Amino acid sequence: MSMTENSKRDSVMNVSKGRTLKREIMGISLLHILLAGMSLLFMLPFLWMVLTSLKTLAEVGLPEWMPAAFQWKNYPEVFDVIPFAKFYWNSILIASWVTFLQVFTSSLAAFSFSRLNWPGRDKVFLMYLATMMLPGLVMMIPNYQIMISLGWVDSFVGLIVPASFSAFGTFMMRQFMMTIPTSLDEAAEIDGASKWQLYWDVILPLSKPGLITLTIFTFMGNYQSFFWPLVMLKSIDKYTLPVGLLFFDSTRGQTTHLLMAGVTMSVLPMVIVFIIMQKQMVKGIQLGAVKG
Amino acid sequence: MLSKKTSNTIAGIAFLSPNIIGFLCFTTIPLVFSMVLAFSNWDLTLHNMFHDEAIKFVGLKNFIRLFQERDFWKFLGNTLFLMMGAPFAIAGSLIAAILLNKDLKGKKSGVFKIILPGAILFISCVMLTLVGMGAAALTILIVGAVGMTLISGILFGQTVYRTLFYLPNFTSGVAVYILWKKLYSPQTGPVNAVLDKPVSVVGNIVNATPSWVLLAGEWLCLLIGLFIMMKVLKSLFNHWKEGDIGSCGLVLALFFVMLPAFFAILWAPTAAMKLAVPAIAVVLLVFHLATDLKTRDFPCTIWHGVGSGFMIAMISLIPMFMFIGFAAAIAHLADITRQTDFSVLPPPEWLASYDWAKPAIMIMGLWMAIGSNNMLLYLAGLSNVPPELEEAADIDGASPFQKFWHVTWPQLAPITFFIVVMTVIGGLQGGFEMARTMTQGGPFGSTTTLSYFIYNEGFATGRLGYSSAISWVLFIMVFSITMINWKFGSKYVND
């Protein structure tokens, strides 16, 4: 009696299990289709961008998205029309310098804030945090006057130096260094290591994931930065990509196909970097904000 | 020999010094300088190498002039208007995060893994052979792209979709703004090419409907909006009675909830509505104030639950604005179809038109902001919701919506608060890049935000003192919101 009941219940459960499994698969497939549809919606502007960049000038105004034949020669042509290679190089050069300096100064300050005990340390740190909330616009006019008096207007130094100190970077590196156990410091001290050795040989290698995240963020942020280069740069051969693209748009905006080729080329590096580095970046964003 | 403490201090300052020197030079000194400037009449047209007048301190003159200037209020209005897209973007981020949070790899069935992508590949191949190249190639391209997304989504799970959602945000910048400028181009852009048909269909429908139906529709939308307002007011006062929200929280929430009534005065299509909507709203408010404010069952401090009140207000703003917007849209459409002689309704001119430039920027902002950091934060928040809570809700037989509202949403409240504050701070300072690259702040200043105003005054017109004064007004607004965050952000987490 009990045996049959048990087996009955089992079979009933199996049936319902089968049903729920079926429903689950249905649900997941629907979800996948929904998500793929949404992805398409997000990607359509980029699709149009790439397809337009491969059109001829005559095809640009047509409602058809597809060109009759892919005009790959548009891409080299961009380099003939405007000094695009120069813009690329300027952007990368400036972003690299800023990234290097910012990561260096930030990690030094973060080391001081997280590993060294000195009176008033936490108050100073709080002040740093507060400056993260300052609207950058407030400082723009005085900073520009400072640049004039230093003679740094229309020079790379004027773009690199002011951007090399970041409260955000310091904050992020400090958050990261706080997670490294302090027993390491004591061990290093017993071995007679100086503070510099502690920083350079112990803490910095252990902060590698944090350093990588900060490097990507800073580099990408400066690759995109617009306001300061726009204000500072006067001669075309010093333009960075964003300013250069704006110049391209305002002088030769009618050649949409070439403009889109330029836009594609300036977006592409970011897409590649993001796809390769996305794991670190997602973690960095979540760490920086959730703990803050 | 130095004591340990002194050597620590010296080392600490030495390590900090590169950063702190830069900090002094490019943050502290400019900040003080800017404050001084805000009280001066430094203007490059008055004080330059040809015309050298001494720079004078003018006291509060810059600020007085600013508050008297109509343009300032208009640009402030623009900034706030553009920020109204934010609730939709945040809701979108939350929905995207909820969809992505499911276990998407479909481990349970190996067959499923092969069948679906196989089917899609098969279908696209069949289509390719059937239709051939030419105009239809686009369809195949899109189907192929969706198919590829699906395949990789099934094989690798949420990472694929997350990447695709996040890309618009990550790449946003001058390049993408220029792209959207071309997308919005009224004659040759794809947005209008796609919209052309649907818009003319809508125009025909509006033309065909008798005007009393349209009028009824407008009233219905506004009444639904008012009905939502009534419900929200009721729940706010209930919360206040039960001691969930203190008096300050109530006042703040009431302010936001009454905001649509103010906008109704601006937007409502007929004079009767301009009067009726705010009047009904005020009556509702007065009614609640008169009946509910007497008794209080559970006392609490006046600062209690400011965050909760704020959140309730924000959530209710979304549908209220939607319905007011619907009413305005119906009236507008009717107007346009009546006025124009076209048999077909032309699609909007987007960036070139005074009325459509702001919505155009908001739509683009939505595209960029759904898959933003906010989505990632919500994803992190969702994965931190204790599974026991959800299981308990399941055992109690809660529907998915109940489960979300009573279990998941309260757990996400601190993150939402953080996101809202950050969005408001960002929004107040935002809009410069779009204005500069897409519209030059126009047409007729309709997309000029405060940041673009500051840039224009400081770097184009050369009124440095005046520009600094505007930037300090902006600074004070941002600062007060930061203060609200510091005061209530942590309290809200503990609620």
Residue A131 lies in a domain: yes
Domain range list for chain B: 4-62, 63-104+348-495, 106-156, 187-347
The pLDDT of residue B114: 61
Asked whether residue A119 falls in the same domain as residue A219, the answer is: yes
| Residue A99 at interface with chain B, using a CB cutoff of 8 Å | no
| Residue A280 at interface with chain B, using a CB cutoff of 8 Å | no
| Preceding amide of A181 cis, omega within 30 | no
Residue A62 lies in a domain: no
Residue A235 lies in a domain: yes
Identify the helix (H) or strand (E) that includes residue B425: helix B409-429
Which residues on chain B are in Cβ contact (under 8 Å) with A34? 99
Q: Which residues contact B247 (CB under 8 A, 6 or more apart)?
A: B240, B302
Go through A183-220 and write b for each residue having 16 or more CB atoms within 10 A of its CB, e for each that does not.
eebeebeeeebebeebbeebbbebbeebbebbbbbbbb
Asked whether residue A116 falls in the same domain as residue A149, the answer is: yes
List, for residues B57-112, the tens digit of each pLDDT value: 787 888 988 898 888 999 998 998 898 888 889 989 999 998 888 766 655 455 55
Which residues on chain A are in Cβ contact (under 8 Å) with B182? 52, 256, 259-260
Nearest CB neighbour to A28, from listed B18, B104, B376: B104
Task: Give the count of alpha carbons within 13 A of B374, CB side only.
Answer: 27
Check if the beta carbon of residue A58 is closer than 8 Å to that of residue A262.
Answer: no
- B402 C-beta neighbours (distance < 10 Å), count: 12
Q: Which residues of chain B have pLDDT under 70?
A: 1-2, 47-53, 103-121, 124-136, 295, 339-345, 488-495
The pLDDT of residue B120: 67
- Reduced to 3 states (helix: H, G, I; strand: E, B; else coil), residue B48 is coil
C-alpha distances in Å from residue B288, one per residue of B73, B240, B250, B285: 32, 12, 12, 5
With CB atoms and an 8 Å threshold, state whether B15 touches A108. yes
Q: Where are the alpha helices (DSSP H) in B172-246?
A: 174-183, 190-208, 211-241
Which residues on chain A are in Cβ contact (under 8 Å) with B25? 146, 162
Residues A230 and A208: their CA atoms lie apart, in Å, by 33
Q: Which two tokens stand for residue A213?
A: 């995240």
- Reduced to 3 states (helix: H, G, I; strand: E, B; else coil), residue B373 is helix
Residue A63 lies in a domain: no
List, for residues A49-103, the tens digit of each pLDDT value: 998 898 888 888 787 888 877 888 899 998 988 999 999 999 999 999 999 999 9
Amino acid at B428: L
Nearest CB neighbour to B167, from listed A113, A256, A274: A274
Distance from CA of B201 to the nearest CA of A (A): 19
Residues B361 and A177: their CA atoms lie apart, in Å, by 40
The pLDDT of residue A46: 92
Q: Which two tokens stand for residue A162?
A: 């002011």
Asked whether residue A168 falls in the same domain as residue A42, the answer is: no
The pLDDT of residue A14: 56
Cβ burial, residue B182 (10 Å; 0-12/13-18/19+) = buried
| Residue A249 at interface with chain B, using a CB cutoff of 8 Å | yes
Residues B94 and B96: their CA atoms lie apart, in Å, by 5
Rg of chain A over CA atoms, in angstroms?
A: 27
The pLDDT of residue A160: 92
Residues A213 and A228: their CA atoms lie apart, in Å, by 24
List, for residues B341-386, the tens digit of each pLDDT value: 555 667 788 888 888 888 899 999 999 999 888 898 898 888 888 8
Residue A175 lies in a domain: yes
With CB atoms and an 8 Å threshold, state whether B15 touches A47. no
Residues B86 and B423: their CA atoms lie apart, in Å, by 7
Considering its fold, how many domains does chain A have in total? 2
Asked whether residue A139 falls in the same domain as residue A253, the answer is: yes
The pLDDT of residue A1: 41
**Host domain of residue A132:** 74-291
Asked whether residue A164 falls in the same domain as residue A25, the answer is: no
Check if the beta carbon of residue B486 is closer than 8 Å to that of residue A130.
Answer: no
| Residue A282 at interface with chain B, using a CB cutoff of 8 Å | yes
The pLDDT of residue A228: 92
Note the ipTM here: 0.86
- Reduced to 3 states (helix: H, G, I; strand: E, B; else coil), residue B386 is coil
Residue A259 lies in a domain: yes
Nearest CB neighbour to A165, from listed B26, B109, B161: B26
List, for residues A99-111, the tens digit of each pLDDT value: 999 999 999 999 9
Which residues on chain A are in Cβ contact (under 8 Å) with B19? 105-106, 108-109, 165, 170
The pLDDT of residue B362: 92
With CB atoms and an 8 Å threshold, state whether A105 touches B170. no
Q: Which two tokens stand for residue B394?
A: 């399941």
Closest of B142, B152, B163, B146 to residue B100, by C-alpha: B163
Check if the beta carbon of residue B222 is closer than 8 Å to that of residue B323.
Answer: yes
CATH classification of the domain holding A123: 1.10.3720.10
Closest of A118, A107, A120 to residue B7, by C-alpha: A118
Residue A202 lies in a domain: yes
Nearest CB neighbour to A105, from listed B18, B167, B455: B18
Residues A280 and A282: their CA atoms lie apart, in Å, by 6
Asked whether residue A196 falls in the same domain as residue A249, the answer is: yes
The pLDDT of residue A7: 55
Task: Give the count of alpha carbons within 13 A of B466, CB side only.
Answer: 22
With CB atoms and an 8 Å threshold, state whether A29 touches B112. yes
| Residue A112 at interface with chain B, using a CB cutoff of 8 Å | yes
Asked whether residue A35 falls in the same domain as residue A84, the answer is: no
Q: Which two tokens stand for residue A67?
A: 């060109």
Q: Which residues of chain A have pLDDT under 70?
A: 1-19, 287-292
- Reduced to 3 states (helix: H, G, I; strand: E, B; else coil), residue B460 is helix
Check if the beta carbon of residue A95 is closer than 8 Å to that of residue A244.
Answer: no
With CB atoms and an 8 Å threshold, state whether A112 touches B13. yes
Q: Which two tokens stand for residue B194?
A: 């796609």
Task: Give the domain B63-104+348-495 fold.
Answer: MetI-like fold (1.10.3720)
The pLDDT of residue B388: 84
